[in-house]
Amino acid sequence: MPHFTDLPPEVLALIGDLIDTGATKNSLVLASRFCRQHFGHLRWRHLRFTQFTSWRFVKFLEPYAHSVRHVRFESSIYKGFYQVDFPGLVTFQHRFLEKDKKNKVAIGLLEDFISRHRTIRDLTIITLETGMSSRFWEAVSTSLLNPRRLKLDGGLYGGAVKNFMYGPEFWHACSRFEEVIYRGWDQSGSLDLGTVDFSQLKSLDYRAAVTPFPIDATKIWRWMGTCSNLTRLHWRDIISIEQLATVTERPLWPHLEDFSLGYVQESEEDFAAVVLIHLPPLKRLTILMGPIGPVCFGILQERHLDSLQTLSLAGAGTITSRMALDILLQFSHLVVFEAYHIDLRDFRSTPQPWVCQGLKRLRVTFESDPSDPGVDTLLLEQLSKLVHLEELYATHCLSHFGPITGPEATIPSLSWKLDSGLGRLSVLTRLRVFMCKRSGRDLEVEDIEWMMDHWPSLETLTGCFSLDSTVQKNLMALISQRGIHASSFNLFI
């Protein structure tokens, strides 16, 4: 019988690449002499340095530096670590976690570090209180041989990246990468559209925080128009259709597949005429909040019916229940669909099978009909045909941080109970996540136990399952005992 040690070297190398060197269990794997021989170098593939990493580690590290592929510097670290050479370094991340007088010194050392490590492909800078120098951006743009991904992030709360305005060196550095992710103050003021070639840029995720200076949306969109090879464009903030309409040449991205916008304030007609009509057939479209109505829906049907795999419109309250159902009935390639709500009275009038049989993620609030007790069972029967479903969110407001008020609080919800037809969903064996804002009728122990018994892949089971606080608490405890993540979502009560 062949032994593990008889595998070809190239197969062993593939196995080694799959080993998570950060996991404690792998210290046991690497304990045997054979594994030390073939996989021992993997212990050095990922390194993380903090202010608590001893300076003595430098001398110990140097003989193994050639095995390092990923390095992460956090906060104020011993300056000697900047002097170590990692000849095979691919991914580098530096986190400036707090305001520190040593940060200026660290940036100077970082400039030299970047200049020496020309093999870096993925570069991430996360900073709360420190702006990067012009020399740093010059080092990035002139030193790296084949850069792939740049991320400049001011942290969870916007941070202090937005407190720093960068010069043209920043944009020259961005133009070297295939993917750019930016969080911070708008930097369009230093753009020089005539001197920088952005044809290499394929993916752009740009979130400009509010600044004391007006954002020149016209200039931003002219610049985006020069990024002719974009396949992915995510613009996360308010878009000014009025300003965009003044651009004489509309941005065209013939290779665009993934388009996401944050907040669109203008009318649906303006959005459709200025933006949507000019997009090529997309695979993924996300509108966080904006006017999606019959005009936009018609364009989606005409231009994107045969290409869309992800359609996320959960925050677009203007999309009607009828439109959401028509999407499920017509867009056969959908893998991800998120909409505001579906009224089961509309569903009753068009009970035809949904064509998106490959759907893996569905997020929508189902509004039941108290006068038609059988409609819940019909909907559950329809859901049972989505056998590839992995995530089911029966809510459109996962990000709410307060109680549901107004008309939404009185919307009758679908009943996720066995006597309403829950048993039909036993075929959803791939389901990993189930969240519901509220079940139309309180769930009982047998309903929850059935879910856990028949959905073997379940990792998260969340919702307000009972208005009785004691019952809800007991249900959460029951779920947690099975090792499944549980959350009450009391905010929905």
Rounded to an integer, what distance in angstroms lies between the CA atom of residue 306 and that of residue 300? 10
Residue 40 pLDDT exceeds 60: no
**What is the tens place of the pLDDT at every residue in 201-246?**
999 998 876 665 666 777 777 888 888 899 999 988 777 777 677 6
CA dihedral 227, 161, 237, 243 (to 10 degrees): -60
pLDDT digits (tens, 9 = 90+) for 360-381: 999 999 998 888 878 999 999 9
33-44 as b/e: b if 16+ CB within 10 A: eebeebbeebbb
- Sequence length of the chain is 493
Query: What's the CA gap between 249 and 221, in Å, rounded?
Result: 10
Cα(488)–Cα(486) distance, integer angstroms: 7
Q: What is the pLDDT of residue 54?
A: 84
- Cα separation, 337 vs 247, in Å, equals 32
Tell me the C-alpha distance between 341 and 357, whole Å. Answer: 20
pLDDT over 50 at 492, yes or no: no
* Residue 390 buriedness (CB in 10 A; 0-12 / 13-18 / 19+): middle
pLDDT of residue 181 exceeding 50, the answer is yes
**In this structure, what token pair is assigned to residue 229?**
């090879």
Banded model confidence at residue 100, pLDDT cuts 50, 70, 90: low
Side chain identity at residue 145, one-letter code: L
Q: What is the mean pLDDT of residues 286-304?
A: 90
The pLDDT value given to residue 104: 73
- CA pair distance 371, 390, nearest whole angstrom: 31
Which DSSP symbol is given to 8? Answer: -
DSSP 8-state secondary structure symbol assigned to residue 227: -
DSSP 64: G
pLDDT at 288 (0 to 100): 85
Give the dihedral sign, CA 105/108/109/114: positive
Phi, then psi, of 436 in degrees rounded to 5: -135, 140
Overall average pLDDT of the 239-255 stretch:
73
For residue 211, which amino acid is it?
T
Alpha carbon separation from 262 to 182, 315, 340, 463 (Å, rounded): 15, 10, 16, 27
What percentage of the chain exceeds 70 in pLDDT? 80
Provide DSSP, 302-341: HHSTTT-SEEE-TT-TTS-HHHHHHHHHH-TT-SEEEEEE
Weakest mean pLDDT among 77-81, 86-90, 126-130, 187-191? 126-130
pLDDT digits (tens, 9 = 90+) for 127-171: 866 678 899 999 999 999 999 999 998 754 444 444 567 888 999
Three-state SS at 252: coil
Contact 440, 367 (CB under 8 A): no
Beta strands in 128-231 (DSSP E): 149-153, 179-185, 203-209
What's the predicted TM-score (pTM) here? 0.85
Q: How many CA atoms lie within 13 A of 461 on its CB side?
A: 28
Residue 448, pLDDT score: 96
Lowest-confidence segment of 154-168, 246-260, 477-491 by average pLDDT: 154-168
Question: How far apart (Å, rounded) are the C-alpha atoms in residues 145 and 383?
Answer: 50
Provide the token pair at 438.
């509220």
Number of neighbours of residue 392 by Cβ within 10 angstroms: 23
